Amino acid sequence: MIFPLLCALVFTLATLLACGLLSLGLLLTRVDQRRYWRRVLWLHLGLLPLHLFVTFPLVMGGLGSRAMVGTRGDERPYSGPRLLLDGKLQVQSWASLRAETDAPPPADLVAAAKARQRAIPSRDGVSLRAFRIEATQEPPRAVAILVHGLFRSAMEPEPVAAMLREQGCECWLVELRNFGGSSRAPFTLGARESDDVVAAVEYVRAQPGRANAPIVLFGVSFGTVAISLALPRLDGIAGVALDAPIDDMLPAAHRLFGVIAQRSSTFAIGEPWQSLVLRSLEWWSDIDLAALCPSDVLATLPHDLPVLVVGAGIDERAPPATVERLFARLPMPAERKRLWMVAESEHGRVFLDQPAAYAEHLRWLLEHLRR
């Protein structure tokens, strides 16, 4: 309750300060200051609970919808995937980006990375930044579209793109609205971010020679929400890989509040403010969180669509129990779906912790693609 109360006090003190400035002017008119301040203090006594339970949630919801969501600072310098002279993808990281502030990479390598950039038009005037990584063979075995998680960019799925590329896939790293180099729009927790996935698939299929290519969708964390909600509008998807999948956005949003509280008790928000802030976010972004349930959508997928689900044992955002329930609801037979849980890994880190095994599970997916 400390953070909401502090914010409410700040809002109250702001108008109290304005009243103090007005009081200085009233001195010139010789108005009775005692009556004035009595009214001011009673007014602000009533404003404090109003700010606590109305203004604070409204402001936080507005910030969440319009300003607080974006790529984390140490990832913003990312400018695209890089292929080395031997043809391998140079996987980048936060550490490598920090190192480049003192030792910039070769200009031609950076220029080649930027040359892979594409601008994909989505709905509502949003422009998405995406990067095409050519396959090692032509035609490619499949075309993979990879989508990052919350507060990340196209850099996050680079390790998975490297694995898929080594297995003959063309890869497209797509940045959702508000992230990386994509343009800004209200944050909708997957509702309109799913439009970005649809736009990316349509754009890729419009490329020369790709109209009938097998399309594989890969998402990690929040990216799984955008992909799951987009799937009913996409025909002919050949395979899906979901890493740290989110099953239901409303409880997932509450879990995110818990993660924030663990990292910084100063900004902890408990109930009833969690629910009030989320209701405010729904109003600002024109969404219904209760209707954003990826597991409900995934339960309606075609029975012949192969799906790989990856989970981590140390994960508070996509807890193992929720991942297992999501997997159990997938309608395809056992031979068309696979669950891989890594007990010692954390959220969205399985492909970093066990790359060789991860590549083998991706191989399984590619071997079972719909034709």
Q: How far is CA 107 from CA 77, 100, 101, 110, 112, in A?
A: 15, 12, 14, 5, 9
* DSSP-derived secondary structure for 69-103: -S--GGGTT----EE-TTS-EE---HHHHHHTTTS
DSSP-derived secondary structure for 119-170: EEE-GGG-EEEEEEE--SSSS-SEEEEEE--TT--TTTTHHHHHHHHHTTEE
> What is the pLDDT, as a whole number, of residue 300?
96
Q: What is the pLDDT of residues 217-264, one digit of tens each?
A: 999 999 999 999 999 999 989 999 999 999 999 999 999 988 877 777
Q: Which residues of the chain have pLDDT under 50?
A: none
What is the rounded CA–CA span in Å between residue 228 and residue 252?
15
In this prediction, residue 361 carries a pLDDT of 98
The Cβ-side half-sphere exposure at 141, using a 13 Å CA radius, reads 16
Q: Tell me if residue 241 falls in helix, strand or coil.
A: strand
d(CA 292, CA 289) in angstroms, rounded, equals: 5
**CB–CB of 237/301 below 8 Å?**
no
80, amino acid identity = G
Gap between the Cα atoms of 1 and 18, Å rounded: 26
Give the whole-angstrom CA distance, residue 338 versus residue 333. 10
Q: How many residues does the chain have?
A: 371
Please give the pLDDT value at position 280: 97
Query: Which CATH number is associated with domain 74-248+292-367?
Result: 3.40.50.1820
C-alpha R_g of the chain: 24
Helix axes 158-166, 355-367, angle to 10 degrees: 60
- Strand, coil or helix: 284: helix
Query: At residue 171, what are phi and psi to the nearest 5 degrees?
Result: -120, 140
**DSSP three-state, residue 61:** helix
Predicted local confidence at residue 173, as pLDDT: 98
With a threshold of 0.85, does the pTM exceed it? yes
Show me where the domains of the chain are located: 1-68+266-287, 74-248+292-367
How far is Cα 227 from Cα 329, in angstroms, rounded to an integer? 17
Alpha-carbon distance of 151 to 139, in angstroms, equals 34
CA atoms within 13 A on the CB side of 210: 24
Give the list of residues 6+ apart from residue 38 with CB closer than 8 angstroms, or none: none
Cα end-to-end span (Å), the chain: 55
**340-349 tens-digit pLDDT:** 999 999 999 9
